Amino acid sequence: MSLVVQRSDVSEFRRRFRWIALTMVVLQLILIGRLFLLQIIEGDENKAIARENIVRRATLATTRGLIRDRNGKILARSRPSYNLYVVPERIDMQVVWPKLVEYLGVGVDERARLEALLTTLRASDGPRKSQQILLKEDISRDAVATLRTHDAELPAVDVVPVPVRYYPYEEVGAHALGYMVEVDAEKLNQLRSAGYVEGDRVGATGIERAWESYLRGTRGWEKVLVDARGRRRPGGEGIIEDPRRVDPIPGRDLRLTLDADIQRAIEKAMRPELAGGVALIDVRTGRIIGLYSKPSYDPNALSGGSGKQVIRDAFRRLYSDPLKPALDKTISGAYPPGSTFKPFTALAALEKGLIDHRQASNCRGALTFGKRTFRCTHVHGPVDLHQAIAESCNVYFYRLAAELGVGMDVIAEMGQRFGLGARTGLGVNAEAAGRMPTRAWMTLRNKGQFRLGFGLNAAIGQGATTVTVLQLALAYAALANGGTLYQPQIVRAVETSAGTVVQEFAPRVRRQIDVSPENLSLVQKALYAGVNSEAGTAFKARVLGVDMAGKTGTAQVSHKLARGAEAERVWYFNREHAWFAGYSPSRAPEVAVVVLVEHGGAGGKHAAPVAFDVVRAYNELSRERAPRAGGNNGGSTRTQPKPDRGGSP
């Protein structure tokens, strides 16, 4: 009976077997479905993900464009630099670290500082201990060679090439060229769409900032095969898809209108002075040949490569100096022009028909107007317009404003015609507009009150009247060339790295100034006398072989300066500003020059000699570069050898 009846344990076994078989079938169906999903439906996507694990896209750095002067001399370029990166968590402090220190050749103090940094990061719970950190910037080439030779002994250590901006002329022309800074987090958010990443450097000031989009270039990339540890492996055919590489596009080169040799000549001429600015302009084109601000700074220290501490120290010195080396005194600083403004007051009176240039005015050393006495430099006696400009008689110009109707509005209108009181539009650094005050402006500024004394000050370039060095240079260029006011130009052409001109910028005229040629000629003759007449305020500063016409200026900046006091005996910041503005040669002018010596005192003693030295250097360079021309490029032998630098104000 037991042989016929089915056993209960066998039935239970079969039931369990069926469930197991069913489970296996379901699992196999799930596995097949999953494989179908991964390999058929999502196959292309998964292949791409797998490929990304072994194929990396490496960025190829671009080359920033060169900046050259008008003759092709390099003013700014990128030099190779190498930074050392380590991963704190992975570096062996017992075996690898002593070798790394030996190969770098660091001193005891620096080694202790770096060890403390690594120890702190290794003990922390933050992500930085497992990430690459910058350990040392701009290591020497000998150290780079040693580290690469012993690369196998230094796991977790990488040497990364980083281009650093280099300025071979250092402080000369630094304000015009500018410098580079590492892009900060706030600016990076704005620039990320343009391809900038962490660690990139961007132009901060000057031409580097204004022409950043031209100079920067475009990064490239290439696809490389890597192993599980991220190390590059050769090969990749059939794995790496095309395109495998996109070459970087180098930045455009810039050719400036500046002359490096002229810049050096200006720097040399300004060495005796503490602070100021100089501009040398081609009167026929508006192109800037020289632009120099003092005190200057070394853009190499600010642009990186020597470490963040060096940058911090450089900026601290820059902004703690009372002479304000960070300020571009040719463009960003506005100053009272003093007597260099008198030619424009004279033109305003002549154009309005308010004066007869032959009529003399008696100067007794001062003019009393109301309750105030307006003083002159000394007693000139009877002077006409010609003598008043050449000898810088204040009283003559006081009378124009006080008695002959040459008011503030008339003076301001003529100044504005010559571009004063408005930004030039150079676009390199933050530019001051200067000020040509009007009667309405002075009334508003003085709570509804206007005093005629304001007009007397305006007539001699004092009071609220201010200009920049560049504005005044362009204005004197217009005086020299017959009334053409040019747009200033500092970049002449954009070029490829091979030297092919991509874009060249022609001179641009801002306006043709509507002024009578006869009146302009009267002013030009007076400016010539200001240098070449024995009574001229720049006569003692003349240089043999330099034919110049111009005007000195001594602009008062403090009421604490006692009348007749020597500038050298007064506290520096109470001294007057020294000016000279002129052009050369006096006939068929080529260049206009303006010199400002901040708190220098007398313009004839401090500013005029600088101007003559600069123009002499220009003439000498012109002769050297054009030996077949046979001429002296504007030089003249009419003047006598220059005596000592004791000049009239």
- Residues 625-637: what's their mean pLDDT? 51
Q: Three-class SS of residue 637?
A: coil
611-623 confidence digits (pLDDT tens): 999 999 999 999 9
- Residues 411-431: what's their mean pLDDT? 95
Per the listing, tokens 């050749």 go with: 105
- Residues 34-38: what's their mean pLDDT? 75
Would the pLDDT of 559 be above 70? no
Please, which residues have CB within 8 angstroms of residue 368's CB and are 6 or more apart in sequence?
374
**For residue 570, which of 592, 601, 597 has the smallest C-alpha distance?**
601
- Do 400 and 406 touch, CB atoms closer than 8 A? yes
Please, which residues have CB within 8 angstroms of residue 277's CB and are 6 or more apart in sequence?
292, 293, 294, 328, 329, 330, 333, 469, 595, 596, 598
- Do 126 and 294 touch, CB atoms closer than 8 A? no
pLDDT winner (highest mean) among 60-69, 143-152, 551-560, 631-640: 60-69
Predicted pLDDT at 609: 96
Would the pLDDT of 305 be above 50? yes
Q: Average pLDDT, whole number, for the chain? A: 85
Report residue 506: phi and psi, to 5°: -80, 155
- Do 211 and 490 touch, CB atoms closer than 8 A? no
**For residue 524, which of 543, 488, 548 has the smallest C-alpha distance?**
548
Angle between helix 342-351 and helix 408-417 axes, rounded to 10 deg:
110
Would the pLDDT of 9 be above 70? no
CATH number for domain 262-310+326-624, candidates 3.30.540.10, 3.30.420.40, 3.40.710.10, 3.40.50.1000: 3.40.710.10
Predicted pLDDT at 635: 40
In which element (H, E) is residue 411 found? helix 408-417
User: What b-and-e string marks burial along 301-316, b requiring 16 or more CB atoms within 10 Å of the CB?
Assistant: bbbbbbeeebbeebee
Predicted pLDDT at 1: 45
pLDDT band at 567 (very low <50, low <70, confident <90, very high): low
585-613 confidence digits (pLDDT tens): 999 999 999 999 999 889 999 999 999 99
Parallel/antiparallel/unpaired status of strands 501-504 and 381-383: unpaired
First-to-last C-alpha distance (Å) of the chain: 144
Would the pLDDT of 478 be above 90? yes
Cα distance between residue 182 and residue 199, in whole Å: 6
- Residues 238-262: what's their mean pLDDT? 85
Within a 10 A sphere around the Cβ of 270, how many other Cβ atoms?
23
**Bridge partners of 253?**
495
Tokens coding 370: 């109301």
**The whole model's pTM is what?**
0.81
Q: Return the percentage of the chain with pLDDT > 90, whole number.
A: 51
- Domain regions of the chain by residue span: 81-166, 262-310+326-624
Q: Three-class SS of residue 363?
A: strand
Q: Return the percentage of the chain with pLDDT > 70, whole number.
A: 87
Report residue 160: phi and psi, to 5°: -115, 125
